[in-house]
Chain A
C-alpha cells in the first residue's frame, strides 16, 4: 500500500492509490483550497472597511501605481520562470532547472524588496503642495485628494477664511498600521501575502540546494518541485487579486 512516497513519485506515473493520484499533491490542492478561505477572509475585511477610515492617509494619497505595477510584473515573471524550471526538470535538463529555480527565487526576493520599500515609504509619506494650486482645483471642481484637502483646510486659509496665496505646505502624512482602518487592513493583507512569498522563497532555495545532492531531485523525482511550484503560482494568483482589488480599485476616484 502506498504511503507518503516522500521522494519516489513523480506525478506523471500512476500511483498505487485509489485514484492513481499522489497523496501529497492532493494534500497540496486541498491546502490551496483552504488557503483561498484564508486570503478571502483578509480581503473581505479589507473591503468591508473600504472607505470607513476616519482619518487619512487613504489609498489615493500613498499608492504609487507605477512602482507596484513593476513589482507585480516581477512576480508574474517569477511564475513563468517557476513553470519553466519544472518544465526543464521533466525534460531532464538539470542545468536549466537550476537556473530557472534561482531566478524564480531572486524575483520573489525582489518582490519582497519592493514590498519593504513600499511599506517604509508609506509609513514616511510626505505631502507637499502650493496652496494656490489646490485652491485652483477646488474652484474648478476638480478632484482633490483627501490628504491635500485636509492640509489645505488646516494651513492654507487664514482666520478670515481667505487663501494664503504664497503658502507652501509640507507635512508628514505617514501611513502605519495603527493610523487608520486602511492602514490596519492594508498592511495585514499585503503583509500576509508577503509572508507567503517569503516562505516560498525559502522553500525554493531549499529545493535548489537539495538538487545538488545526488538523486534527490531528478527527472523522475520531480514531485517536490511540482508542489513548490503550485504553492508559488497560488501566491501569484492571490497577488493578481490583491493588485486589482486593493491597488487599482483603491486609487479609483469613485471610492
Chain B
C-alpha cells in the first residue's frame, strides 16, 4: 500500500497548529465547528444590532437603505447557514460518536473536509461585505438577483458561498447517516438510540434530500447571471415563481433541519434533570420522522400571496396545520417527562424549559399564518420576523445554548459557573421577549418588514424603541455567557465524568473524553443504558470512570491527514475563481482551484486510513 501514497509523509503525532489543521478527531472537529459557528453567530448578531439601532426611532439615517438591505440579507443567511446549522453540526460531531459508543465517525477525513469547507464558505460569505454584500434577502427572490437588477458581486458571493456550504453540509450529513446506522455499539438498536442521535439522523436525511434542490436553484441562477440563460428571465418566458418554488422546496425542510437537533437536545436534557425517562420515547421518535416526511408537503405556505390559486392555497393550508400535530405531540411528551419528576433547575434545564415556552409561542403564531387567508394579512409584516425569531431564537438558539451548558463539562473537562449561567438565562429570556414580542404588535399593525425606516405617527414608535432596548439586554446576556465560558474553560473546577447523573453513554467516560473515547466498546442492554447500568439494572459492573485505559496500544485510531484541508482549499480557490472569473485569464483561477481539489481527492483516496506500519496515534 505504502508504494501508492504520494511522497509527502503523513502528519503523524503533530502538535500545535498542525495538530488542529490535520486533525480528524471528531471531538476536536466538533470544537472547531462550535467556536467558528459561535463567532459567526456574533457577527450575525452585530448585523441585527445595527438594524435595530436604525429602527429605534422613525426616520433615522444611521445606515442607508442600501446597507440596510445588505444587513438583513446577511443577518438571515449568516444565522441560518453559518450559525444554527454548524452549531448543530458541532454537537453532531462531538456527541454522536459518544452517544452510540463509537471511537470516531465513519469517515473521519470526510469529517475534517466538511469543517474546512464550511469554514471556506463562511469566510467567503462574510468577506463579501468588502465591496458590497448580497442584498436580495436570504431567500434571494428572482428577479432581485438578476444581473440587470443587481450587477454587483454581492449576489455572486452569496450564490457561490452557499454552494460551498452546501458541499460541507452534504458531506457531513452522509457521514452522520453512515455513522449512526453503522457505528453503533453492540446492542445499540435503533430504538435504543438516544433522542439527540435520532433527531440528528432525521436531520441528516432531510439535508441530503433538500440540499440538492437549492444546489440546482443556485446553479440555474448562476447560469442566468454569468451566461445569460433564461431560467428566471421573464422577458424570455421564464418564471420568477419557479425560483420561489425551488427555494422553498429546499427551504421548508431546512426549517426542520434547524429545529430538529434543537428538539433532540431538549429531549436529552429534560429526562436527566427530571430523573425520569423521556415520556413516550417511541412517540417522540415517530413524531420526528413524521415531521421529516410532512416537511416536504408544506413549502408553498411561504408563497400564499403569490397567487397559486385557491386549490393550492387550501391544500397547503391543510398540510401546514397538520404538521403542527407531531410538533404538538413532542411538546406534550416533554411536559409529560417533567411531570412528577424530581426536577433540578440549573442552567441547561432552565434553557430547555425556556425553549418549550418560547417555541410554543412561535409554534402558535406559525399556526396562525398557516391559514392562507390570515397569512394574506401577515405576509411581509413584522409578524413574520416575530414568528421566526420565536422559533429560531427562542427555539433553536435556546436549545443549542442549553446543549452548550449541558455538554460543556464533557468537552472542556471543566464546570461552568452556575450563577453566571442562570444570569445568562434570565437576561436572554427577558431580552428576547422584550425584543421579539413587540414585533407581533407592529406586525399586526401593518409595519412591513425589510424597510430601513418608517414615518412618524404610524403608531410604531414605542414598540420599535422597546424592541431595540431588548437587543441590549440580549447583548448583556451573551457577554455574561462569553465571560462564563472563557473563565470556566481556563480555570473552572474539574468536571467529573458524570456531573449530571446522566442517562446516555457519553457520561460513562471521563471528561474530557480520551482520544479513543471508550477504552472498551460498551455493550448496550437497554434504552438509557448508562442510567440502568448505574441502577444495577443491566447486570453490568459500573466501569470506574471509563476503565483503566491500559490497553491504549491496542486501539488503532485513524491518523491525521493533510488532504481534507488541501481539498477544501482547492474548493475555496475555485469558488473565488468562479466569482472573479474574468480576473487575469478568464476562468484560470477556477481551473487551478479545481485542479488542487482533484489532487487532494486523489491523494486522499490513495492514502490508507491507518498506515499499517505505524503504531496507533496518541
Residues of A that sit less than 8 Å from B by CB: 1, 3-7, 17-19, 21, 23, 26-27, 30-31, 33-35, 37-38, 40-42, 44-45, 48-49, 52-55, 177-178, 180-181, 183-185, 188, 192, 206, 213, 215-216
Contacts and interface: CB of A to CB of B under 8 A. Distances in A.
Contacts of B230: 177-178, 180-181, 183-184
B443 interface: no
Contacts of B108: 3-4
B155 interface: no
B183 A17 contact: yes
A217 to B, nearest CB: 12
Contacts of A45: 216, 220, 231, 242, 246
A30 B174 CA distance: 7
Contacts of B227: 177-178
A208 B170 CA distance: 28
Contact of B174 (A19, A27, A38, A48): A27
Contacts of B340: none
Contacts of A19: 181-182
A66 B235 CA distance: 34
Nearest to B177: A30
Given A30-B177, A34-B170, 6 more contacts: A1-B102, A1-B104, A4-B106, A26-B177, A52-B239, A206-B602
10 contacts: A3-B108, A5-B609, A18-B184, A19-B181, A23-B178, A26-B182, A31-B174, A37-B212, A178-B230, A180-B236
Contact of B229 (A1, A53, A177, A192): A177
A49 B236 CA distance: 11
Interface-centre pick from B106, B216, B217, B220 (highest chain A CB count, 10 A): B216
B225 to A, nearest CB: 13
Given A30-B208, A180-B236, A3 B216 contact: no
B595 to A, nearest CB: 13
Interface string B246-275: 100100000000000000000000000000
Given A41-B216, A48-B242, A54-B236, A18 B229 contact: no
B223 A177 contact: yes
A213 B184 contact: no
B282 interface: no
A42 B216 contact: yes
B309 interface: no
Interface of B: 1, 3-4, 102-104, 106-109, 170, 174-175, 177-178, 181-184, 186, 188, 208-213, 215-217, 219-220, 223, 227-231, 236-239, 242, 246, 249, 521, 556, 558, 602, 605, 607-610
A34 B211 CA distance: 8
Contacts of B170: 34
Contact of B106 (A23, A33, A34, A185): A23
Contacts of B219: 188, 192
A53 B175 CA distance: 42
Interface-centre pick from A7, A23, A192 (highest chain B CB count, 10 A): A23
Contacts of B182: 17-19, 21, 23, 26
Given A38-B215, A45-B220, A181 B237 contact: yes
Nearest to A183: B230
Contact of B178 (A27, A34, A53): A27
B213 A37 contact: yes
B511 to A, nearest CB: 22
B217 A41 contact: yes
A30 B230 CA distance: 32
B229 A184 contact: yes
Nearest to B186: A18
B149 to A, nearest CB: 18
A213 B4 contact: yes
A23 B109 CA distance: 13
Contacts of A18: 181-184, 186, 188
Contacts of A31: 174, 208
A185 B109 CA distance: 36
A33 B183 contact: no
Nearest to A53: B237
A17 B106 CA distance: 10
Contacts of A184: 223, 229-231, 238
B190 to A, nearest CB: 10
Contacts of B211: 34
A245 B176 CA distance: 35
A52 B210 CA distance: 27
A4 B558 contact: yes
Contacts of A38: 212, 215-216
Interface-centre pick from B227, B236, B242 (highest chain A CB count, 10 A): B236
Contact of A178 (B210, B217, B228, B558): B228
A41 B238 contact: no
B107 A23 contact: yes
B239 A48 contact: yes
A4 B3 CA distance: 19
Interface-centre pick from B186, B230, B231 (highest chain A CB count, 10 A): B230
A174 to B, nearest CB: 15
Contacts of B188: 18
A15 to B, nearest CB: 8
The 4 closest A-B pairs by CB, nearest first: A41-B216, A38-B212, A37-B212, A34-B208
A41 B178 contact: no
A213 B210 CA distance: 40
B609 A188 contact: no
Contacts of B213: 37, 41
A49 B209 contact: no
Contacts of B605: 6
A44 B246 CA distance: 9
A26 B182 CA distance: 9
A49 B216 contact: no
B101 to A, nearest CB: 10
